[in-house]
Amino acid sequence: MDWTDRHCRYFHRLIAPGILLYTEMVAAQALIHGDVARHLDFDAREHPVALQLGGSEPSELAMAARLGERWGYDEINLNCGCPSERVQRGSFGACLMAEPELVARCVDAMREAVTLPVTVKHRIGIDRHEDYGFMRDFVGTLAQAGCQTFIVHARNAWLKGLSPKENREVPPLRYDLVFRLKREFPELEIVLNGGITSFDEVDRILRELDGVMWGREAYHNPYKLAQVGSRVYGRTSAPRSRSEIVSLMVDYCRRYLAEDQRPGPQLRHVVRHMLGLYTGCPGARTWRRTLSDPRRLAQNDVALLEEAHREVSEAILASGFAESA
């Protein structure tokens, strides 16, 4: 939440055509009772993109899924992995793993409501439930309800005592349990999430599983996504350079600031997602510092992004650094 918004997804799409993008989690009640367009509008160039929902009431999730299909999303995903206390108070997220029958009813209601794939993202367990059988039974119950795709964050979620950030780092990763899940449910699509940072790891995982989801790694080092085409899909066409991506994002920012009719379109809403673009390059610190200047950002002038690009380009040229994917 607050990370993979529409600006972030547009930026990532420029880097990596073809990958499946996910929205931030949207509460079903927020769609039913709130501003639907504000939550669901997205650029057609983001496709394929999945709408990630949070909720625990089957009828509400069915209504939200119908809205997602009407808005043109390619998949509906139910979040059963978020451990935050705020989400728990709404009775959704990781705490739902303790109620597989309820989740199965939610999945069934959404599948009845839409023609899109309905998928589930979850953890390997909650709190001290560290036995494999807990996850196996959860997945088995949902599979009987018709869910065919499971994105598994290979850590337990501790519902008390850890912050959401700590829940992404402290509970140990157990890839072995996810590999075992695939062996026991070969007919299901099993995707692994959590702690994956290199393409060597991706290659190893894809020998046993059906997919890999990148979260923090894609966000903090986004240009790594430029390698997906060649490393995962075997494409021979060259990816866009960082400079090309910045140029396209300058155009995007101009359109956004000129056309967005909602209150308060701001440049910072876009460029905050671009801070990691030059990770590992000369001038990366200057790039981040320029794009984080609150005084300049408040002016809402796209020239700030162009200035940051000139500075980092000069640093790269002076160093002789070879800019490539």
Do 213 and 146 sit in the same domain of this protein? yes
Is there a domain that residue 231 lies in? no
Range of the domain at 17: 6-218
> Is the separation of the CB atoms in 145 and 107 below 8 Å?
yes
Do 194 and 251 sit in the same domain of this protein? no
The tokens for 277 are: 């673009």
Do 86 and 136 sit in the same domain of this protein? yes
Do 52 and 136 sit in the same domain of this protein? yes
DSSP tag of 163 = -
> Is the separation of the CB atoms in 154 and 132 below 8 Å?
no
Do 210 and 249 sit in the same domain of this protein? no
Is there a domain that residue 293 lies in? yes
Do 162 and 113 sit in the same domain of this protein? yes
Beta strands in 86-170 (DSSP E): 118-126, 149-157
Digit-coded pLDDT (tens) for 80-97: 998 877 666 667 899 999
Residue 82 annotated to the active site: yes
How many structural domains are present in the chain?
2
CA distance linking residue 88 with residue 74, whole number of Å: 27
Give the CATH number for residue 250: 1.20.120
User: Which helix (H) or strand (E) element contains residue 264?
Assistant: none
Is there a domain that residue 89 lies in? yes
Do 161 and 287 sit in the same domain of this protein? no
The pLDDT profile of the chain, 325 residues, written as one tens digit per residue, is 889 999 999 999 999 999 999 999 999 999 999 999 999 999 999 999 999 999 999 999 999 999 999 999 999 999 999 887 766 666 789 999 999 999 999 999 999 999 999 999 999 999 877 899 999 999 999 999 999 999 999 999 988 878 878 888 888 999 999 999 999 999 999 999 999 999 999 999 999 999 999 999 999 999 999 999 999 999 999 999 999 999 999 999 999 999 865 667 799 999 999 999 999 999 999 999 999 999 999 999 999 999 999 999 999 999 988 765 4
**DSSP-H helix ranges across 4-129:** 6-15, 28-33, 36-40, 58-71, 85-89, 100-113
Using a CB cutoff of 8 Å and minimum separation of 24, what contacts does 257-263 make?
A: 257/300, 257/302, 262/38
Is there a domain that residue 112 lies in? yes
pTM beyond cutoff 0.85: yes
Q: Which of 82, 95, 147, 281 is catalytic?
A: 82
pLDDT at 170: 87
Is there a domain that residue 310 lies in? yes
Closest CA to 210 of 137, 155, 151: 151
> Is the separation of the CB atoms in 38 and 63 below 8 Å?
no
